[in-house]
Amino acid sequence: MDYKHIAELIASIKKITPSKVYVQGRFGERDFDGAGFQVFGEGSFRILIGDYEAIRPWLAKRGKKIAARFVETGGRYSALPLLDLRRVDARVEPGAIIRAGARIGKDCVIMMGAVINIGAVVGAKTMIDMNAVLGARATVGRRCHIGAGAVLAGVLEPPSRKPVVIGDRVLVGANAVVLEGVTVGRGSVVAAGAVVVRDVPPGVVVAGVPAEVIKSVGEIGDPDKIRILDSLRGRKR
């Protein structure tokens, strides 16, 4: 999907307020005929799941029958649902937010608080660390590490035709920012806090604001500083 396709999809799709409503009262089966939302339970206790704009008039019409209610909402006028994690062959920790339309590769690790937007792609065995943000269509290669709080800019607003592209085996340090349209070459390292505004060649280290090449990866004295741990990515079955 290019940025125009994503923008048109979000603009045209029906916005909903995803909700779960617990109700206790005097109900008959006819009360739920053609309700326009899902109903679970039986007798006096029911759980209503769907768009609150469909549930609200149902509640108002049966107010005298309802003894107690509790409403949970997962958003307000939301355009897209979250990705169905049952279809993801990767480790996704609680609190990660992955929007439908993102693609997560095999044996990735998505940590708490990470946000991955529509159209983003994460290659196999890549870790997206805590509170990192992958904007719309941001593309990350295989066996990378995107550090905590890092931002890979999206392409929707301001609009850009070319997404961020992170090559294989790239390390992006904590709180670094890679602006839209930038490509980071295979095996390179983006230092913590760097702001990358132009393409980065393969096999180099960039740092600073704006980021500049400061040395080659081969000049890093301690290999542990750039080592990817396979043990964190594998899953015992």
- pLDDT tens digits for 180-195? 999 999 999 999 999 9
Q: Identify the CATH number of the domain in which residue 175 sits.
A: 2.160.10.10
pLDDT of residue 1: 74
Regarding whether 96 and 50 lie in a shared domain, the answer is: no
Regarding whether 176 and 220 lie in a shared domain, the answer is: yes
State which residues form the domain around 115: 85-233
pLDDT of residue 236: 63
Residues 83-94, mean pLDDT to the nearest whole number: 95
Does 136 have pLDDT greater than 80?
Answer: yes
For tokens 């979000």, name the residue: 10
Residues 62-72, mean pLDDT to the nearest whole number: 95
Q: Are 38 and 50 in contact (CB under 8 A)?
A: yes
Regarding whether 28 and 131 lie in a shared domain, the answer is: no
Number of structural domains (the chain) is 2
Residues 73-86, mean pLDDT to the nearest whole number: 94
pLDDT of residue 221: 85
pLDDT of residue 237: 59
* Residue 46: CB atoms within 10 Å: 18
User: Around 102, how many Cα atoms within 13 Å sit in the side-chain half-sphere?
Assistant: 31
% the chain with pLDDT above 90: 85
Regarding whether 89 and 65 lie in a shared domain, the answer is: no
Regarding whether 133 and 27 lie in a shared domain, the answer is: no
What pTM, to 2 d.p., does this model score? 0.89
Q: 95-123, pLDDT tens digit by residue? A: 999 999 999 999 999 999 999 999 999 99
Report the candidate in 226, 10, 19, 207 with the shortest Cα–Cα distance to residue 101. 10
Q: Identify the CATH number of the domain in which residue 38 sits.
A: 3.30.70.250
Number of H helices, E strands in the chain: 3, 23
Q: 18-57, pLDDT tens digit by residue? A: 999 999 999 988 999 988 999 999 999 999 999 999 999 9
Regarding whether 183 and 92 lie in a shared domain, the answer is: yes
Does 59 have pLDDT greater than 70?
Answer: yes
